[in-house]
Structure 1
Amino acid sequence: MLPAGNAAAGGFSGASTGADFQTFLTMLTTQLRNQDPLSPMESTDFAIQLATFAGVEQQALSNRFLEQMAGQTGGAGIAGWIGKEARTTAPVWFGDDPITLDVAPHNLADSVQLVARDAYGREVTREEIGPGAGQIDWLGRTAEGAKLADGAYSFTLESRRGGEMIAETRVGAYARIVEAQFDATGGRVVFEGGTSAPAAEITALRDPA
């Protein structure tokens, strides 16, 4: 355990940052109160100090937010997800390796089609996969067997019974997390290839195979 007043792991300490912020505010207020009326602070100097003041305030708020995020999810936060594979319905990158999909069609379906769409939302493949649920590998091939171009793809499942659509659902795909980003919405994870998703929309994590 770190002693009180020491910086926490990662170099962030809400207490020390807050103290720096209060010290800066006190110094600026004292400077304004005691400046020579016959030789007041230049407007450019004042603007620079105000900009510095705003920067210190923003850093203090950012550090407190980062500490709050780091305290979530078992103490590691979403930064602890880096290197793992996450299940997401956001677009994921397809290159040389298959993409693992979690398919769960409607339980009354007698026909199930997997639809893949590119980064622009255009349908690129459609294939019958049967009514079973579980994990499958998407190989990224056309009906003629040609490999699709590298890029970001998303997936939906169309469940039919007697030829009629009874459900259309988004399909979860697994992608490796390479970066965690913190913001006011709760953070985002960035996947291999540069696609990303809000951390709150990640539905499963696993170690890479």
Structure 2
Amino acid sequence: MTSGIASLVNSGNATTSSSSSSSAAGIANNFSQFLTLLTTQLKNQNPLDPMDTNQFTQQLVQFAGVEQQLKSNDRLDSILAASKSASTASATSYIGKTVTTDGVSAQLQSGSATWTLDPARAAPKAAITISDSKGNVVATQNVALTAGSQAFTWNGKTSAGLTAPAGTYSIKVAAIDATGSNVAVDTSVSGTVTEVDLSGDSPMLLIGTQKVPLSSVQQIGLSTSGA
């Protein structure tokens, strides 16, 4: 009889790998069977050789632990669903707004692409490299950067004087100060959110064809596309 009860407990443990609803139903049915078997065992045990008290208590604890674990899983699923719903609602509110995000990629549209550069300190010499979506260098420029945030706009012209096609381009900045020391330069881009991609684990904002995670948003403003 003891082995029968132990196998029933193991059956309860196995239900944790199935769906929440079927697991809950299974644990309820097994619990009723467990109590029936336990009551029968107590009625029919040998008075001269009763069931070990420790074993009896262990069986109860095991089954109660499985039941509590299933309830905890149900609560966690509810919390995750609520969190995802709130994140989705927050993401959709960005549509039509202009956002500034950290990153090196920007869209070349209407013959220009703009980045915001923020050097740690003034850099009289800064080499800027523009690359296309495949990593090919299409343009280079040498500029002087002042301390603080400032805009850098690329006119879409390649080093060969040709007009680059519209698309996503990335920037790389190598800057040095008056003493010849390297200067760190943070880069960010701005654009209007046109769509929200909800197909992944977390929402992604679409600025043109570029996908941006919510966590990278630095500033939010009204759309400047015109009324």
For these two proteins, the number of residue pairs brought into alignment is 159
Q: Percent of counterpart pairs with the same letter?
A: 13
In structure 2, relative to structure 1, the CA distance for the partners of 1:104 and 1:170 (3 Å cut) is closer
Using the size of structure 2 for normalisation, the TM-score is: 0.55
- Report what 1:140 is aligned to: 156
Q: Which runs of 5+ in 2 are unaligned?
A: 1-18, 30-76
CA distance in structure 1 between the partners assigned to 2:212 and 2:104 by the alignment: 6
1:67 aligns with 2:114: no
Q: Distance in 2 between matches of 1:86 and 1:121?
A: 25
Whole-Å separation in 2 of the counterparts to 1:113 and 1:206: 31
Q: 1:135 offset after TM fit, Å? A: 1.9
- Point out the structure with the larger helix share: 2
2:218 aligned to 195, 203, 206, which one?
203
Q: SS in structure 2 opposite 1:200?
A: helix
Pick the structure with greater CA Rg.
Answer: 2
Partner-residue secondary structure (3-state), 2:85:
helix
1:180 aligned to which of 185, 192, 196: 196
Alignment match, 2:144: 130
Label 1:80 to 1:196 Cα distance change in 2 as closer, same or farther (>3 A).
Answer: same
Alignment of structure 1 residues 109-128 onto 2, 5 Å: 109-128=123-142
Quickly say closer, same or farther: Cα 1:91–1:101, change in 2 above 3 A. Answer: closer
Query: Could you tell me which residue of structure 2 aligns to residue 9 of structure 1?
Result: none
Q: Is the 8 A contact 1:99 1:174 kept in 2?
A: no
Superposed counterparts of 1:131-170, under 5 Å: 131-132=145-146, 133-161=149-177, 164=180, 166-170=182-186
2:64 counterpart residue number: none
SS in 1 for 2:185: strand
1:125/1:164 Cα in 2 relative to 1: closer, same or farther (>3 Å)?
A: farther
Q: How far apart in 2 are the matches of 1:197 and 1:118? A: 18
Which among 91, 98, 108 is matched to residue 78 of structure 1? 91
Contact 1:113–1:158 (CA under 8 A) maintained in structure 2 = yes
RMSD: 3.7
Structure 1 unaligned residues grouped into runs of 5+: 1-20, 33-58, 71-75
TM-score (norm 1): 0.59
Task: Report if the CA contact (8 A) 2:114-2:151 is conserved.
Answer: yes
Distance in 2 between residues matched to 1:159 and 1:94, nearest whole Å: 23
Question: How far apart are 1:134 and its partner, in Å?
Answer: 1.2
